[in-house]
């Protein structure tokens, strides 16, 4: 009875184990469950990609970051309250509470300007500083407070495609010497046109600034960000100038620079090159351009082969001349040796004749 009871208990445990295994098999495994993304992360990405939130780029601890101002964040969420729906159950929170949660989740970090004093010649601090540092109190504020995004934004598709084009462009630049002559001309004229456009734009920009600064005392820079180091592509081609926040220049400084400008123009006009010098310089430039455009690897290789053939001919001529010199030397040596033998034979014959003559005299 005990055995049967024990066996029944064991069988019941097995059945219960099978049922529990069957029930657990219907559940979704933890690995297959989709990880739900944080709603505040989604909210931060949407806010960052929105065009109405004004932002700039700056350097934070040797790292380039995108940042915005606290007051702009408050006005942005007031004008776009529909973005709060992404927060689901937390959509009823105030703007300050949402920003504090973003700070706690390390989606943004509060920063402060590095330069905190007004520079000489300016009325107030810069609206968008170029260098930032981390602020000690990581709490939200809309009073001259800056906040930088800490996560990496998703790269657009066109930037990904452009990154693959850079190696192709580099290879194309390296292969410029082997291009056909007509293609070289197109590339040369295009690059020269772009360079001329940039120089004319910078010259016109400086001329407008100098004229308005001397006449009206206003600092007006068209394309104000064209020479900026920390500027996006959109900011780089911004045409309208920024508001002049500096003090009005003194009339003595304006008069001084006006006189200096007139003297420089007269000096350049007095020392301008004549027509002959300009023609010589033009011919020299044309010769340099022709040398660059007419260069061909086949011509270079043929020139190298010609030089090599000239070297071979010179070596062979040297060898031939060297061999002939050796032959002449040998012949000269043989001739000298023959002459010495003849002279020695004649000397011996003379000595024999002289001995015979002395013997005959003695006998007489």
Q: Tell me whether residue 144 is in a domain.
A: yes
User: Looking at residues 56-63, what average pLDDT do you find?
Assistant: 88
Can you state the angle between helices 95-104 and 70-79, rounded to 10 degrees? 120
Q: What is the 3-state secondary structure (H, E, C) of the chain?
A: CHHHHHHHHHHHHHHHHHHHHHHHHHCCCCCCCCCCCCHHHHHHHHHHHCCCCCCEEEEECCEEEEEEEHHHHHHHHHHCHHHHHHHHHHCCCCHHHHHHHHHHCCCEEEEEECCCCCCCCECCCCCCCCEEEECCCCCCCCCCCEEEECCCCCCCHHHHHHHHHHHHHHHHHHCHHHCCHHHHHHHHHHHHHHHHHHHHHHHHHHHHHHHHHHHCCCCCCCCCCCCCCCCCHHHHCCCCCCCCCECCCCHHHHHHHHHHHHHHHHHHHHCCCCHHHHHHHHHHHHHHHHHHHCCCHHHHHHHHHHHHHHHHHHHHHHHHHHHHHHHHHHHHHHHHHHHHHHHHHHHHHHHHHHHHHHHHHHHC
Q: Tell me whether residue 59 is in a domain.
A: yes
CATH at 117: 1.10.10
Which residue did the predictor score with more confidence, 273 or 326? 273
User: Looking at residues 130-147, what average pLDDT do you find?
Assistant: 90
Which residue did the predictor score with more confidence, 51 or 237? 51
Which residue did the predictor score with more confidence, 169 or 305? 169
User: Looking at residues 316-342, what average pLDDT do you find?
Assistant: 51
Q: Tell me whether residue 253 is in a domain.
A: yes
User: Looking at residues 48-58, what average pLDDT do you find?
Assistant: 88
- Work out the mean pLDDT of the chain and round it to a whole number: 75
213 in Cβ contact with 199 (< 8 Å): no
Separation CA 51–CA 79 (nearest Å): 13
Note whether 161 and 144 are same-domain residues.
no
Note whether 65 and 108 are same-domain residues.
yes
Among 149, 179, 208, the domain-final residue is 149
Q: Tell me whether residue 296 is in a domain.
A: no
pLDDT at residue 69 tops 90? yes
Note whether 85 and 141 are same-domain residues.
yes
Residue 262 is part of which domain span? Answer: 157-272
pLDDT digits (tens, 9 = 90+) for 199-216: 998 899 889 888 888 888
pLDDT digits (tens, 9 = 90+) for 218-271: 888 888 777 776 666 677 777 777 666 667 788 888 889 889 989 998 998 888
* Nearest residue to 134 via CA among 146, 119, 118, 116: 146
Q: Return the pLDDT at 28.
A: 45
User: Looking at residues 191-196, what average pLDDT do you find?
Assistant: 91
pLDDT at residue 341 tops 60? no
Among 238, 272, 306, the domain-final residue is 272
Note whether 139 and 44 are same-domain residues.
yes
Q: Tell me whether residue 127 is in a domain.
A: yes
pLDDT at residue 165 tops 70? yes
Instruction: Please give the share of the chain, as a percent, with pLDDT higher than 90.
Output: 15
Separation CA 143–CA 13 (nearest Å): 69
Q: Return the pLDDT at 130.
A: 86
Minimum mean pLDDT range among 9-13, 73-77, 286-290: 9-13
Note whether 121 and 208 are same-domain residues.
no
Q: Tell me whether residue 1 is in a domain.
A: no
What total of structural domains would you count in the chain? Answer: 2
Note whether 210 and 228 are same-domain residues.
yes
Q: Return the pLDDT at 32.
A: 40
pLDDT digits (tens, 9 = 90+) for 346-362: 555 555 555 545 555 55
User: Looking at residues 313-318, what average pLDDT do you find?
Assistant: 56
Note whether 209 and 122 are same-domain residues.
no
Note whether 166 and 144 are same-domain residues.
no
Among 257, 272, 287, the domain-final residue is 272
Confidence of residue 315 (pLDDT cuts 50, 70, 90): low
Half-sphere exposure of 46 (CA within 13 A, CB side): 16
Note whether 184 and 138 are same-domain residues.
no
Note whether 46 and 77 are same-domain residues.
yes
The pTM score is 0.49
Q: Tell me whether residue 133 is in a domain.
A: yes
Q: Return the pLDDT at 197.
A: 92
Separation CA 29–CA 218 (nearest Å): 70
Q: Return the pLDDT at 199.
A: 92
Residue 185's contacts (CB-CB under 8 Å, 6 or more residues apart) are 293
Note whether 170 and 139 are same-domain residues.
no
Q: Return the pLDDT at 67.
A: 93
Q: Tell me whether residue 263 is in a domain.
A: yes
* Nearest residue to 125 via CA among 76, 72, 69, 73: 69
Highest mean pLDDT among 94-108, 123-137, 227-241, 321-335 belongs to 94-108
Residue 133's contacts (CB-CB under 8 Å, 6 or more residues apart) are 60, 61, 111, 112, 113, 114
Note whether 121 and 203 are same-domain residues.
no
């Amino acid at each position: 009875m005990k055995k049967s009871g024990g066996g029944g208990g064991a069988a019941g445990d097995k059945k219960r184990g099978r049922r529990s295994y069957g029930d657990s098999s219907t559940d979704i495994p933890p690995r297959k469950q989709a990880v739900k993304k944080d709603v505040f992360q989604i909210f931060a990405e949407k806010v960052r990609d929105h065009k109405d939130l004004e932002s700039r780029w700056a350097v934070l601890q040797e790292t380039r970051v995108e940042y915005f101002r606290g007051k702009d964040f408050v006005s942005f969420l007031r004008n776009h309250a529909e973005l709060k729906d992404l927060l689901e159950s937390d959509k009823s929170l105030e703007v300050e509470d949402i920003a504090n949660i973003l700070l706690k989740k390390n989606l943004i970090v509060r920063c402060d300007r590095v330069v905190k004093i007004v520079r000489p010649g300016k009325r107030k601090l810069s609206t968008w500083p170029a260098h930032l540092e981390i602020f000690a109190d990581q709490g939200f504020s809309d009073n001259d407070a800056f906040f930088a995004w800490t996560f990496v934004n998703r790269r657009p598709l066109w930037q990904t495609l452009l990154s693959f084009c850079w190696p192709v462009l580099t290879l194309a630049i390296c292969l410029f010497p082997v291009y056909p002559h007509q293609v070289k001309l197109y590339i040369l004229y295009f690059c020269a046109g772009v360079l001329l456009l940039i120089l004319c734009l910078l010259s016109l920009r400086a001329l407008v600034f100098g004229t308005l600064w001397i006449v009206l005392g206003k600092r007006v820079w068209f394309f104000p960000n064209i020479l900026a180091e920390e500027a996006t592509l959109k900011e780089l081609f911004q045409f309208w100038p920024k508001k002049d926040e500096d003090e009005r220049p003194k009339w003595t400084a304006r008069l001084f620079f006006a006189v200096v400008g007139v003297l420089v123009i007269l000096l350049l006009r007095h020392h301008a090159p004549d027509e002959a010098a300009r023609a010589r310089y033009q011919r020299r430039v044309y010769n340099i351009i022709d040398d660059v455009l007419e260069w061909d690897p086949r011509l270079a290789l043929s020139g190298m082969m010609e030089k090599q053939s000239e070297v071979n001919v010179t070596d062979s001529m040297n060898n031939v001349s060297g061999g002939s010199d050796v032959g002449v030397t040998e012949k000269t040596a043989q001739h000298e040796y023959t002459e010495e033998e003849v002279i020695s034979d004649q000397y011996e014959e003379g000595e024999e004749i002289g001995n015979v003559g002395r013997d005959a005299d003695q006998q007489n």
